[in-house]
Amino acid sequence: MNNDSRENFGSKIGAVLAAAGSAVGLGNIWRFPIETGQNGGAAFIIVYIGCVLLLGIPIMMSEFIIGRHTHTNTAGAYRKLAPGTSWKWVGRLGVLSGFVILSYYSVVAGWTAEYTALAITNYFDGKGANDFPAIFAKFVSNPWLSVSLMLAFMIVTHVIVIRGVKSGIEKFSKVMMPALFVILIILAICSVMLPGASQGLEFLLKPDFSKITGSTVLSAMGQAFFSLSLGLGCLCTYASYFGNDTNIGKTALNVSIIDTFVAVMSGFIIFPAVFNAGYTLSSEDIGPSLLFITMPNVFQQAFGSMPVLSYVVSVLFYFLLVVAALTSTISMHEVVTAYVSEEFTMTRRKAATIVTIACSTVGVFCALSFGPLDGFKLFGMTLFDLFDYVSSNIFLPVGGMFIALFVGWYLDKKMVRDEVTNNGTLRAPYLRLIVFILRYVAPIAIGFILINQLGLVKLF
Ligand code: PHE
């Protein structure tokens, strides 16, 4: 497909919202509160913000530079910039990561759809703390339901992706992202006004620095990668649709601010309500089941005396999750679709169909990991857990490290400067600092997590 026929985002704000849509997802509303709960609250948030500033923004800028300069899919981008070298494998690894994450992420996304339906039909009404674990267990182990919901989510993603960049992805993000902010703020206000909310607020705002350990830093760094959609060329692919007037530095800053804002706001929704409902921070309450076991009960308890409010808050909360998950699944699908369509020269529609069928097939096995296939283990993990572990703990950091090395060391400095300054029309006094981070700080820091997480050397 030649570059002239390639679509671009129609507006700068559309580009920012689409990239923010990719970043804002289950990582913010589900994973961030869990990590914050398990790693000491305010102190973790400070370290997390440090990681976003120090690693997230420079690597996001790198993805933008690669994508916008080449105007092609992530694997093609490396081929164009470094022909005949092995750098293309960084792009290919990214495409593989997008594929793998999409197949298991759609399973959880399907759950959010089911819980929205349960909330709408007022199913949670009158249920107590003891009922929710059983409801969740019964639901996830029902193979038909899990698989159908995953497929439904994949099909909706597919439909938006085949509509193209401007009238599919951009249009959807432009409507849904503002809606998401409004819901988020309403929910945070409701939560913060609950009696007893102060304990939750204190947890989020009063740092106890003695809680910062090596593993806190490592978790914060991993969370920053996942949450900002970094390391797999997702934002590189989106940047290939940026116009030439998009300011790369400013866009990276805006996307990172939006993503961090949503994560912190989710903390403000979840923790005051969790403490109000009398939960502790034991790992059971603030574990992976947080959204599906703890939260439905929290809404019942916290707003129990106001059934209408409890109903509205639950519906809005799960709808928020569906929207956040969908804008992220779209971005993962787009990484793979752009690759298949451009590298194997076929129409977007055909490429998207192949991707949807392939991902859904793998997704079926991930969905069944909670039911009939829960005994099928590879490396001691179910397929779902294995995909989650391998992609976020290995693929994304490895991808991020190579992206930093590629832009920091391999790319021509003038080209990098031209991209960041839009050929000298913008000022970018921060560029030297960014390049320094890309050359030294990011690869060393990420190398550190990888070695530690893979257990090659146990540093902490
Ligand atoms: N950033 C998304 C989230 O927070 C997840 C994601 C990871 C999306 C990688 C695209 C690529 O949920």
The response to whether residue 332 sits with its C-beta less than 6 Å from ligand 1 reads yes
User: 422 pLDDT exceeds 90?
Assistant: yes
Q: How many CB atoms lie within 10 A of CB 86?
A: 8
Tell me the CA–centroid distance for residue 228 and ligand 1, in Å: 6
Q: How many CB atoms lie within 10 A of CB 429?
A: 7
Are the beta carbons of 337 and 238 closer than 8 angstroms?
A: no
Helix, strand or coil, per DSSP, at residue 378: strand
Q: How many CB atoms lie within 10 A of CB 127?
A: 15
**Joined tokens for residue 140:** 């996830």
The model's pLDDT over 137-176, given as tens digits with 9 standing for 90+, comes to 888 888 889 999 999 999 999 999 999 898 899 999 999 9
**Joined tokens for residue 291:** 């959204």
The response to whether residue 300 sits with its C-beta less than 6 Å from ligand 1 reads no
pLDDT score for 64: 98
The model's pLDDT over 45-87, given as tens digits with 9 standing for 90+, comes to 999 999 999 999 999 999 999 999 999 999 999 999 999 999 9
Distances (CA, A) of 393 to 32, 212, 247, 385, 446: 15, 20, 31, 11, 11
The response to whether residue 26 sits with its C-beta less than 6 Å from ligand 1 reads yes
Helix, strand or coil, per DSSP, at residue 195: coil
Which atom of ligand 1 approaches the CA of 325 most closely? 12
Are the beta carbons of 229 and 23 closer than 8 angstroms?
A: yes
Binned at pLDDT 50, 70 and 90, residue 283 comes out as low
- Of the candidates 254, 222, 252, which has an alpha carbon nearest to the alpha carbon of residue 51? 222
Helix, strand or coil, per DSSP, at residue 450: helix
The response to whether residue 229 sits with its C-beta less than 6 Å from ligand 1 reads yes
The residue assigned the tokens 């949503």 is 262
